[in-house]
Amino acid sequence: MLNIGLIGCGRISKNHFEAIAQQPDAQCIACCDIIEDRAQDAAKKYNIPIWTTNYDQMLSDPNIDLISICTPSGLHPEHGIQAAKAGKHVLTEKPMAC
CB burial string 38-68: b at 16+ within 10 A, e below: bbbebbeebebebbbeebeebbebeebbbbb
Residue 32 lies in a domain: yes
40: enclosing H helix or E strand: helix 36-45
| In the predicted structure, residue 96 carries a pLDDT above the cut 90 | no
Q: What is the CATH number of the domain that holds 38?
A: 3.40.50.720
Residue 57 lies in a domain: yes
Residue 70 lies in a domain: yes
Predicted confidence at residue 49, as pLDDT, reads 98
Predicted confidence at residue 98, as pLDDT, reads 56
Residue 97 lies in a domain: no
Residue 48 lies in a domain: yes
| In the predicted structure, residue 79 carries a pLDDT above the cut 60 | yes
Residue 36 lies in a domain: yes
* CA–CA gap between residue 79 and residue 19 (Å, rounded): 21
- The overall pTM is greater than 0.85: yes
Percent of the chain whose predicted confidence (pLDDT) is above 70? 96
Number of structural domains the chain divides into: 1
Residue 60 lies in a domain: yes
How much is the average pLDDT of 8-27? 97
Percent of the chain whose predicted confidence (pLDDT) is above 90? 92
Q: What is the pLDDT of residues 42-60, one digit of tens each?
A: 999 999 999 999 999 999 9
Predicted confidence at residue 93, as pLDDT, reads 85
Domain that holds residue 67: 2-92
3-state secondary structure of 20: helix
